[in-house]
Each structure stands twice: as C-alpha cells, then as structure tokens.
Amino acid sequence: MRWLILSSLGRDSGCFLRAKYLGQALAANGEDVLVPTPVKSWPLFLDQLMNAWLYTIAVFRQRPRIVVSIKPYFSSGFPSLLARILFRAKTVCDVDDVDDGYRDGFMSRVARLQAAPWPRLAYRVSYHNANLRAHILKRYGVPESRLIRLPQGVDRTRFEARRVVNRGLTLVPRFVPAGAAFIATSAHLNIAADLIPIFDAMAILRDAAASGGNGATRRPIKLLLVIGGGPDEARFRAAVRERGLDLIVRFTGAMPPEDVAAILVHATLGV
C-alpha cells in the first residue's frame, strides 16, 4: 500500500516529528511510505506555500492510496485533496490541537480560516484528546461517522531504564556542573511553549537566594535547563537575557527523545 505522510508545519516542528515517526512505523510494517521533508518554519505562514508545492510534487511521485495530513493546514490539505481527486486516495486529517488558540488577533483568525475546510473534506479525521471531539464536530462540521479517536502512547522500548540512566551520565555534564542541583523542563520551543512563567519563577528564586529569604533552601537549585529546540528558541533566549538569567538558565537545543529522557531522569526537579 502506498502512503504519503504530510507535515503541515516546517521541518523544525513537532508536527514533522510525528509525521516521521508515523512513517517509520508504517515502513517497519512493510508499507510503501513517503514522508517529504518540508522547509523550515517561516514567519506569517509563508512556508505553507512552499510546502504545498513540494507536497504536490510528492503526490505525483508517490501516487498514494492513502494520504495522512498531520494538522489541518493548506500546505497538506490541498495536496491531499489533489491526491483524492486524481488517484482516488483515502485522506486522513489528524487534528491534534486548536492552533489558533495560541495566537492573538489577526494571526489567530488567519490560522482558524486556513484550517477550517480541510477536516470536512477528509475521508477520516483522527484526534487524540477526547476534549477535541466536540470542537471538531462544531467548528469543522465533520460528520461523527468520520471521526476516529487514536489514544496517544509512548514507545517504552526507547526509554529502557538502564540505558537512559547511563546515557544521562554522559549528557548532563555538557550543560550542568558536576553535582549541581537543577530543574529541567522539556518542550518544543514554538508558539505553544509557555516558558515565560518558569523564567519569572527562576528570577524569584535567584532574588530570594541572594537575600537569604524563604527561597533559600538547604540545597538551592540554581540552574534551569531547557531541553529542546524549535522556531521560537531565539525568542526564549532573548527573554532569558532580558531578565538577567543568562547564568542560571541554559538551553540544550533540539535533542532526540531518548536524550531528553536521559537528562530528565537526572534532574532534581522536573517542570
């Protein structure tokens, strides 16, 4: 069976990671799978146009029987519709979140409008969070008979305890001084990552420790390690500099899931 898996967002997004992992799972099961690599995320959704063009080429290259779009956006929705018309492909639209909720004003309306038509045109619409069901039925007008809930899970073979712990012994010293207590938080650094309150909390801890107040503990936690990368990494680094937290907030950049777990297991506290 020929599959085409499309990430609606850029190659630096969690959306593309999910597309890749789905493609790998299907290929391991003997399926003929193509997962085109999109361009990196650009401002104002401009990457959508380039990716739509790349994916249209992929449609003619793969001539898929099944197309899966990760998120309902023009970049994947239009090529999916094309595959359905030209090759009678079955199309699946995966709705994993309400992306316009992370934006304000004009950009929120743009995100909402461009997502609107694609779920209704798909053969099936998948979702993971049960709270999204009513939203998909009402906002997108998708018939209930087309909805499929796919519970999310974890591939535990990636996180075998001894291997993860040993890997962490190598990774952690790259970012944290030996023996230091540290807080770790992992995130894809995009518009949905809400790190600013954590930075503000670190500023409070710093000030309390400096003054000897209630924030000072027997084993003060003086370091926050942000695990992950993404299109908004520069913005978060700037927020750290603005708060004067350069010495106590560090970034690892993008890492594979196994390395994220390897660092988290050694953290004093996880957020």
Q: pLDDT (tens digit, 0 to 9) for every residue of the chain, 271 residues total?
A: 999 999 998 988 888 988 999 999 999 999 999 999 999 888 777 898 999 999 999 999 999 999 999 999 999 999 999 999 999 999 999 998 877 666 677 777 877 888 889 999 999 999 988 888 988 898 889 999 999 998 877 777 766 778 888 889 999 999 999 888 999 999 888 877 889 999 999 999 888 877 765 544 555 677 999 999 988 899 999 999 999 999 999 999 988 888 998 999 999 999 9
- By the 8 A CB rule, do 72 and 120 touch? no
Residues 2, 64: contact at Cβ < 8 Å? yes
DSSP-derived secondary structure letter, 32 = E
pTM above 0.85, yes or no: no
- DSSP annotation of 70: E
Give the pLDDT of residue 103: 65
Amino acid 163: pLDDT: 81
Q: Can you give the pLDDT at residue 100?
A: 67
Degrees to nearest 5, angle at CA 150 with 161 and 121:
140
Q: Find tokens 């990494």 and name the residue.
A: 233
**Distance between CA atoms of 100 and 47, rounded to whole angstroms?**
17
Q: Concatenated DSSP letters for 157-209? A: GGG-HHHHHHHHHHHGGGTS-TT---EEEE---STT---HHHHHHHHHHHHHH
CA distances, 200 to each of 64, 66, 179, 253 (Å): 49, 46, 25, 21
